[in-house]
Amino acid sequence: MGRPKYFTPAEVSAHNTADDLWVSFLGKVCDLTPLMSQYKGDALLLPIMDCAGKDISSWFDPETRDVRRYVDPQTKCVRYYTPRGRFVHVPPSGPCSNWDSSIGEPWWRDKRYEVGLLSAKTRWIRVVNTLTSQEQRMEVRFLRHTSPAAVRLMLWSWRPDPVAPPPQVCSEETLNEILQRYLHYNSHARSYTWKHAGANLDMSRTLSENNVPDDDVELERLRLDSDLFTPAILLHFNDDLTEG
């Protein structure tokens, strides 16, 4: 089984139309575009469309991983809790002649819609090309299984591409996977040795596994400016004549 694909909230939020709709919830990312096509024109899609590209974890119970439930004060029956309105695959609150109970697995449990996992806590690193003295400041996000919160990584360059969006990475990614994103800014990135604190980094491991420190909590406790203590990754050119 291969490694899962990780996404930042910024990447998820880019898919926010009926023809290209993603959502995240309970730490996973789902592409609901096929669902939108299947039920096109159905009013039950409106709550989903209103949250296109967003995290909808509040809709679900993290223990059962099902839609939240409540006891209807009038009927005293357990119902699905949908304050934004009933959505696709949620049964009606009472008897209904046009409800098809043979829908199979509801979309929030159907693995066919899953495209990856969502990341969470941010941290900053600096990537310095020692050959050109160019520097990229990158915000890397961590996955916290207890809180599928939002994630984003911003990258600034001395000469950023005015057309391309800022690349985003997740701290769950290995440095090899981060390098793939960095290729957009330096097509010869494979010709560099990545180092931190004088040690070569293991490109098959993550930042934390390479002992690149995250001192955010300590810096916040000491009320120090974290920008002044951002760890740097130095890229040393190997001059091995590789092609981008």
- 3-state SS of the chain? CCCCCEECHHHHHCCEECCEEEEEECCEEEECHHHHHHCCCCHHHHHHHHCCCCECHHHECCCCCCECEEECCCCCCEEECCCCCCCCCCCCCCCCCCCCCCCCCCHHHCHHHEEEEECCCEEEEEEEECCCCCEEEEEEECCCCCCCCCCCCCEECCCCCCCCCCCCCECCCCHHHHHHHHCCCCCCHHHEEEEECCEECCCCCCCHHHCCCCCHHHHHHHCCCHHHHCCEEEEEECCCCCCC
Q: Over the stretch 84-113, which tens digit does the pLDDT of each residue have? A: 999 999 998 877 777 777 788 999 999 999
Question: Per-residue pLDDT for 228 more than 50?
Answer: yes
pLDDT bucket at 69, cuts 50 / 70 / 90? very high
Question: Per-residue pLDDT for 144 more than 50?
Answer: no
The per-residue pLDDT for 125 is 76
Q: What is the largest CA-CA distance in the chain?
A: 75
Same domain, 181 and 230: yes
**Mean per-residue pLDDT of the chain:** 83
The per-residue pLDDT for 160 is 41
Domain boundary among 87, 117, 147: 117
Domain boundary among 117, 133, 149: 117
Query: What CATH number does the domain containing 34 carry?
Result: 3.10.120
The per-residue pLDDT for 113 is 98
Same domain, 83 and 183: no
Q: What is the mean pLDDT of residues 220-229?
A: 89
Same domain, 81 and 153: no
Query: What CATH number does the domain containing 193 carry?
Result: 3.10.20.90
Pairing of strands 78-80, 20-25: unpaired
> Is the pLDDT higher at 89 or at 125?
89
Q: Does residue 242 lie within any of the structural domains?
A: no
Same domain, 233 and 139: yes
Chain-centre distance of CA 55, in angstroms? 10
| Domain coverage including residue 42 | 6-117
Same domain, 107 and 136: no
Same domain, 81 and 171: no
> In this structure, what token pair is assigned to residue 158?
């001395």
The Cα–Cα gap between 177 and 4 comes to 12
Q: Does residue 243 lie within any of the structural domains?
A: no
Strand partners, 127: 136, 233
The per-residue pLDDT for 157 is 37
Same domain, 231 and 124: yes
Same domain, 58 and 111: yes
Same domain, 104 and 30: yes
Same domain, 129 and 232: yes
Q: Over the stretch 17-56, which tens digit does the pLDDT of each residue have? A: 999 999 999 999 999 999 999 999 999 999 999 999 999 9
> Is the pLDDT higher at 194 or at 75?
194
Same domain, 83 and 176: no
> Is the pLDDT higher at 185 or at 57?
57
Nearest residue to 112 via CA among 37, 33, 42: 33
Q: Give the chain's domain count.
A: 2
The per-residue pLDDT for 50 is 97
Same domain, 148 and 232: yes
